[in-house]
Amino acid sequence: MADMDAPKLVLVLDDDVAMLRALERGLRVHGYQTAGFSGVADLLSSPDLAQATCLVLDINLKQLSGIDFAIELKRIGHSLPVVFITGSDSEATRRAASDAGCIAYLTKPFRLENLVSVIEQRRHSRLGAGPGRTH
Protein backbone atom coordinates (compact mmCIF):
# COMPACT_ATOMS: atom_id res chain seq x y z
CA MET A 1 0.00 0.00 0.00
CA ALA A 2 1.32 3.48 -0.88
CA ASP A 3 0.73 4.84 2.62
CA MET A 4 3.49 2.60 3.94
CA ASP A 5 5.95 4.44 1.68
CA ALA A 6 5.11 7.88 3.08
CA PRO A 7 7.73 9.22 5.49
CA LYS A 8 6.78 9.07 9.15
CA LEU A 9 9.68 11.10 10.51
CA VAL A 10 8.72 14.32 12.28
CA LEU A 11 11.34 16.85 13.33
CA VAL A 12 10.61 18.89 16.45
CA LEU A 13 12.45 22.11 17.34
CA ASP A 14 11.63 23.64 20.72
CA ASP A 15 14.11 25.09 23.21
CA ASP A 16 11.76 24.12 26.07
CA VAL A 17 13.21 20.65 26.64
CA ALA A 18 10.16 19.42 28.60
CA MET A 19 7.85 20.40 25.72
CA LEU A 20 10.26 18.89 23.20
CA ARG A 21 10.34 15.54 25.00
CA ALA A 22 6.55 15.51 25.52
CA LEU A 23 5.95 16.10 21.81
CA GLU A 24 8.43 13.41 20.84
CA ARG A 25 6.82 10.88 23.21
CA GLY A 26 3.32 11.73 22.02
CA LEU A 27 4.22 11.48 18.35
CA ARG A 28 5.96 8.13 18.90
CA VAL A 29 2.78 6.80 20.56
CA HIS A 30 1.00 7.69 17.30
CA GLY A 31 3.52 5.70 15.24
CA TYR A 32 5.90 8.47 14.21
CA GLN A 33 9.65 8.45 14.35
CA THR A 34 10.92 11.71 15.80
CA ALA A 35 14.10 13.69 15.89
CA GLY A 36 14.09 16.42 18.51
CA PHE A 37 16.27 19.50 18.60
CA SER A 38 16.61 22.24 21.17
CA GLY A 39 18.74 24.43 18.91
CA VAL A 40 18.77 25.64 15.33
CA ALA A 41 22.38 24.59 14.59
CA ASP A 42 21.70 20.96 15.55
CA LEU A 43 18.68 20.80 13.28
CA LEU A 44 20.54 22.36 10.35
CA SER A 45 23.32 19.79 10.62
CA SER A 46 20.92 16.83 10.86
CA PRO A 47 20.80 14.33 7.99
CA ASP A 48 17.09 13.88 8.83
CA LEU A 49 16.26 17.34 7.49
CA ALA A 50 15.85 16.10 3.92
CA GLN A 51 13.68 13.07 4.75
CA ALA A 52 11.17 14.34 7.27
CA THR A 53 7.42 14.56 6.82
CA CYS A 54 7.37 17.95 8.51
CA LEU A 55 8.89 20.18 11.15
CA VAL A 56 7.05 21.12 14.34
CA LEU A 57 8.61 24.48 15.17
CA ASP A 58 8.21 26.67 18.23
CA ILE A 59 7.83 30.31 17.27
CA ASN A 60 9.44 31.74 20.40
CA LEU A 61 12.94 30.32 20.30
CA LYS A 62 15.64 32.01 22.37
CA GLN A 63 18.08 32.14 19.43
CA LEU A 64 15.71 33.63 16.87
CA SER A 65 12.10 33.61 15.84
CA GLY A 66 10.83 30.27 14.59
CA ILE A 67 9.15 32.22 11.79
CA ASP A 68 12.47 33.73 10.75
CA PHE A 69 14.05 30.29 10.90
CA ALA A 70 11.34 28.80 8.65
CA ILE A 71 11.93 31.59 6.13
CA GLU A 72 15.68 30.90 6.29
CA LEU A 73 15.10 27.18 5.70
CA LYS A 74 13.21 28.00 2.50
CA ARG A 75 15.90 30.46 1.44
CA ILE A 76 18.60 27.79 1.68
CA GLY A 77 16.52 25.27 -0.26
CA HIS A 78 14.58 23.22 2.28
CA SER A 79 10.88 23.03 1.48
CA LEU A 80 9.96 21.12 4.61
CA PRO A 81 6.34 21.70 5.69
CA VAL A 82 6.17 23.56 9.01
CA VAL A 83 3.67 23.37 11.85
CA PHE A 84 4.17 26.36 14.13
CA ILE A 85 3.47 26.06 17.84
CA THR A 86 3.39 28.99 20.24
CA GLY A 87 2.44 29.98 23.74
CA SER A 88 2.15 33.65 22.74
CA ASP A 89 -0.70 33.97 20.29
CA SER A 90 -1.53 37.22 18.50
CA GLU A 91 -3.07 38.23 15.21
CA ALA A 92 0.28 39.61 14.02
CA THR A 93 2.02 36.33 14.83
CA ARG A 94 -0.68 34.31 13.06
CA ARG A 95 -0.34 36.52 9.99
CA ALA A 96 3.47 36.22 9.99
CA ALA A 97 3.24 32.43 10.37
CA SER A 98 0.79 32.24 7.49
CA ASP A 99 3.00 34.47 5.34
CA ALA A 100 5.93 32.14 6.12
CA GLY A 101 3.92 29.29 4.60
CA CYS A 102 3.03 27.16 7.58
CA ILE A 103 0.67 24.22 7.13
CA ALA A 104 -0.76 24.75 10.63
CA TYR A 105 -0.54 27.05 13.63
CA LEU A 106 -1.25 25.62 17.08
CA THR A 107 -1.46 27.57 20.32
CA LYS A 108 -0.06 25.93 23.46
CA PRO A 109 -1.53 24.10 25.15
CA PHE A 110 -2.99 22.11 22.27
CA ARG A 111 -4.34 18.60 21.94
CA LEU A 112 -1.80 16.17 20.53
CA GLU A 113 -4.57 14.74 18.35
CA ASN A 114 -4.80 18.11 16.56
CA LEU A 115 -1.08 17.98 15.72
CA VAL A 116 -1.30 14.36 14.58
CA SER A 117 -4.29 15.19 12.38
CA VAL A 118 -2.36 17.97 10.63
CA ILE A 119 0.63 15.70 10.06
CA GLU A 120 -1.55 12.89 8.73
CA GLN A 121 -3.32 15.25 6.33
CA ARG A 122 0.05 16.44 5.08
CA ARG A 123 1.39 12.90 4.62
CA HIS A 124 -1.67 11.86 2.63
CA SER A 125 -1.63 14.99 0.48
CA ARG A 126 2.04 14.40 -0.34
CA LEU A 127 1.25 10.86 -1.47
CA GLY A 128 -1.20 12.15 -4.06
CA ALA A 129 0.66 15.33 -5.00
CA GLY A 130 3.70 13.83 -6.69
CA PRO A 131 7.18 15.34 -6.61
CA GLY A 132 7.50 19.09 -6.20
CA ARG A 133 3.86 19.81 -5.47
CA THR A 134 2.74 21.15 -2.15
CA HIS A 135 -0.48 21.34 -0.21
pLDDT reported for residue 31? 96
Contact 108, 85 (CB under 8 A): yes
Contact 53, 10 (CB under 8 A): yes
pLDDT reported for residue 7? 67
pLDDT reported for residue 131? 38
Whether the pLDDT of residue 5 is over 90: the answer is no
pLDDT reported for residue 127? 62
Calculate the average pLDDT of the chain: 90
Convert the pLDDT of each residue in 11-59 to its tens digit.
999 999 999 999 999 999 999 999 999 999 999 999 999 999 999 999 9
Contact 53, 6 (CB under 8 A): yes
